[in-house]
Structure 1
Amino acid sequence: MPVSKRTLCCCLLLLTWAGQAVAQPQTPVIGHYAEMATWSDPLEALGTLRADESVTLSATVTETIADINFQDGEQVDRGRLLIRLEDAEEQAQLRAAQAISDERRNALDRAAQLQQRNLAPRADVEDTQARLRQAEADAQALEARLANYRIHAPFSGRVGFRNVSVGTLVTPGMDLVTLDKLDVMKLDFTVPEVFLGRLSTGLKLSATTAAFPDEVFSGEIASIGTRVDPVSRSVSVRAELANPHMRLRPGMLMEVIVQQRQRETLVLPESAIEPSGNRHFVMLIHQHDEEHRLERREVSIGERRHGEVEILEGLDPDSLVVIHGLQLARDGQSVRLLGIADEETDIRTLLEADR
């Protein structure tokens, strides 16, 4: 049956209206520029902190405590007197030895004068000199013994809790107080021997602790152990961390990330990667006049870290790729670019601005 011209026009008009009714709006996406950044392969480990210098001070003689010159947790300088033991008897013995030295020095002077006038033999002078040296040696020995009755700080640091009081009888080897140098901390950890070839002194690392979860402490490897544990097949590593605010303490557990094989490479957020089997793709955004059109491009990726991925091949620096809206993005599709995410503008801000 032939179709009239009027009927044909109505059908074409209905089809146009239907096409407009089912036309989908442009998919909104958020882009991100591929950037060159410093990258390293992270080597993770668990480590334990130690003070740069640490000592437990104790007595070497048996005596009671006469004075305590510090407070718990106080920062003290090198050479400061911390504890003085009762030394009255030793002081009296020293004064007696010094008096004997003075007496024999006077005797030597008199003998020397007589010998100059040939009124005394030379042997008497020499014997008097020997007795004087013996008296001086006895006095020096007592002074050395008196040093054991005074306990000084061997280096600048922070003292711990004191567990003794004035009048306490102490004995040799008895723990009196701890002293730790905390401005620099030593961080000891182990790594599998297979990574030994990648380690070297001076290699940078970062460390975190549960006590300060929002802070990252930086340091570097100071030394590497000379032996590999034959049981665990691991090697010991010691790093040094600056601790200017004295927040880190000996014995703390830290999570360590060693930055090995540092290099400049192309980096993208992991949200830009679309995996497909063993292959990886990104949606590249091309701008033609006012239109943004997508291109699905395969890339080769390297290492991953904290939401970022290393791009080895397939992309150039400053390429604009989709990081939000990939679920609805298709190759060759025209999209609506909501904005560019960067260090100053995040995805949430761009989405809220589009509402």
Structure 2
Amino acid sequence: MKKRLAIVVIALVVVFGGIFGYKAFGNYMMHKALAHMPVPVISVSTSRVAEQEWHPEVTAVGSFAAIQGVEVTPQMGGAITAIHFHSGQYVKAGTLLLQIDNSNQLAQLANDEAQQRLAQINLRRTRELIATKAASQSQLDSAVATYQSAVATVKNDRATLAKLAIRAPFSGYLGVRQVDLGQYIIPGTAMVDLQSWDPLYVNFTVPQSDFARIHMDTPVQVEVDSYPGQHFSGKITALGSAINTATRQIDVQATVPNPKTILRPGMFGNVTVIEKRQEKVLTVPASAITYNTFGDFVYVVEKKAVNGKEGQVAIQRIVKTGTQRGSEVQILSGLQPGELVVTAGQIKLHEGSPVEIRDSGKS
């Protein structure tokens, strides 16, 4: 039994040994054949490292705000007797929006106007009498005071009536009406909001480290998600008077024209402050950058012997990137002007891969 088992084990060793030996021999012969074959050349697209002049930028997230915007509220209480506007309507300054019940005030005004007329008649008669010395100076003084008091009372009545007639304090667009006809309202009740849309403020903050780069009238561009690809231009019109000690940020306000009224107060946008000065930077197409956890890199094309003759190979180069503008990325270190970088075909490359340039930009 043991002898038979030993024979079986030996037979298996011989069989498997033959199989593995055959595979090892095959691999050896394949590697030997490949070693004598020319290294495949990979076709790539390239672009040269360019030196450009860029305006330095500061970026922030901002919020649009109306230059003039209020929640229209009454100063006096009462029942609404008339509504003269529609939600979303554009109104000019002084437009009558709502009327609060003013019947008592109108009656009071009529009474006080009658008292004013009577005081005016008495004053005129007293002046006529004093001219003939039929009245004393004290009587004239009393008549003058009575008339002036009557005039002041009428002015007070008219001021009260004006407060019961709610008018637009400035030109702008109304929001959604929040009150109804016949509703009794009290001082401070929100009736409708009124906003001016052109121009708009953009409020944002920048860290104190960038404060020296922010100046009055510096141009800004704002992008909003609602209108991708569009840039809204403006300029800085106000700076905060102090740095916030909690955040070490300073408030900045820019004014942006909105002639088409497509922007709205409360929208947020990405603000770019564009400095007036220029600086030279190195740039490459964004497609040339391979982003990696261990460091971003590009493939630089260099001349080197390939398959026994002069050719070109791809060399991996670690780079430090800066800001991106459109399709161009700023290179802070790792490249020199004029060097050739691969912009397409990197996925097939490894260190030292022979390459053939099918097209080249910025050459």
Structure-2-length-normalised TM-score: 0.70
Structure 2 CA distance for partners of 1:274 and 1:294, relative to 1, 3 Å: farther
Secondary structure in structure 2 of the residue aligned to 1:230:
coil
1:309 to 319, 325, 329: 329
1:54 to 39, 58, 69: 69
**Cα distance in structure 2, aligned partners of 1:211 and 1:189:** 19
Structure 2 CA distance for partners of 1:311 and 1:233, relative to 1, 3 Å: closer
**Cα distance in structure 2, aligned partners of 1:47 and 1:155:** 25
Shift of 1:159: 0.9
Q: Residues 221-261 of structure 1: CA distance to partner in whole angstroms, max 9, x if unpaired?
A: 33232333333333332222222222222222323333347
Shift of 1:58: 1.0
**Cα distance in structure 1, aligned partners of 2:84 and 2:302:** 71
- What aligned pairs does 1:137-148 form with structure 2 within 5 A after superposition? 137-148=152-163
1:159 maps to: 174
- What aligned pairs does 1:155-234 form with structure 2 within 5 A after superposition? 155-234=170-249
2:6 maps to: none
**Cα distance in structure 1, aligned partners of 2:313 and 2:275:** 35
Q: Residues 292-333 of structure 1: CA distance to partner in whole angstroms, max 9, x if unpaired?
A: x989999x98733143134689437xx9987456778999x9
Conservation of the 8 A alpha-carbon contact between 1:189 and 1:236:
yes
Shift of 1:179: 0.8
Between structures 1 and 2, the one with greater strand share = 1
**Cα distance in structure 2, aligned partners of 1:72 and 1:263:** 48
- What aligned pairs does 1:292-307 form with structure 2 within 5 A after superposition? 303-306=322-325, 307=327
**Cα distance in structure 2, aligned partners of 1:134 and 1:261:** 63
Judge which range, 110-119 or 63-72, deviates more.
110-119
**Cα distance in structure 1, aligned partners of 2:206 and 2:109:** 57
**Cα distance in structure 1, aligned partners of 2:224 and 2:355:** 47
Matched, 1:40 2:56: yes
1:78 maps to: 93
Conservation of the 8 A alpha-carbon contact between 2:42 and 2:356:
yes
Shift of 1:169: 0.8
Structure-1-length-normalised TM-score: 0.71
Shift of 1:29: 4.2
Q: Residues 70-119 of structure 1: CA distance to partner in whole angstroms, max 9, x if unpaired?
A: 11011111111111111121112112111111112122222222222333
Larger Rg: 2
Matched, 1:88 2:130: no
Matched, 1:269 2:289: no
Structure 2 CA distance for partners of 1:130 and 1:41, relative to 1, 3 Å: closer
**Cα distance in structure 1, aligned partners of 2:160 and 2:150:** 15
Conservation of the 8 A alpha-carbon contact between 2:221 and 2:271:
yes
Structure 2 CA distance for partners of 1:39 and 1:272, relative to 1, 3 Å: farther
Aligned residues: 311
Matched, 1:113 2:128: yes
Secondary structure in structure 1 of the residue aligned to 2:196:
strand
2:117 maps to: 102
RMSD over aligned Cα atoms: 3.9
- What aligned pairs does 1:327-338 form with structure 2 within 5 A after superposition? 338=359
Shift of 1:339: 7.0
**Cα distance in structure 2, aligned partners of 1:47 and 1:217:** 13
Shift of 1:158: 0.9
**Cα distance in structure 1, aligned partners of 2:261 and 2:297:** 49
- What aligned pairs does 1:284-299 form with structure 2 within 5 A after superposition? none
Judge which range, 333-342 or 83-92, deviates more.
333-342
Amino acid at match of 2:110: R
Return 5+ residue gaps in structure 1 as ranges.
Answer: 1-21, 286-292, 343-355
**Cα distance in structure 1, aligned partners of 2:219 and 2:150:** 60
**Cα distance in structure 2, aligned partners of 1:278 and 1:294:** 22
Shift of 1:274: 9.1
Percent of matched pairs sharing the same residue: 27
Conservation of the 8 A alpha-carbon contact between 2:71 and 2:193:
yes
Secondary structure in structure 2 of the residue aligned to 1:251:
coil
Amino acid at match of 1:176: M
1:124 to 122, 139, 149: 139
Shift of 1:263: 0.9
Shift of 1:190: 2.7
Q: Residues 184-240 of structure 1: CA distance to partner in whole angstroms, max 9, x if unpaired?
A: 222222333322232223233322222223323233333232333333333332222
Amino acid at match of 1:315: P
Judge which range, 113-122 or 59-68, deviates more.
113-122
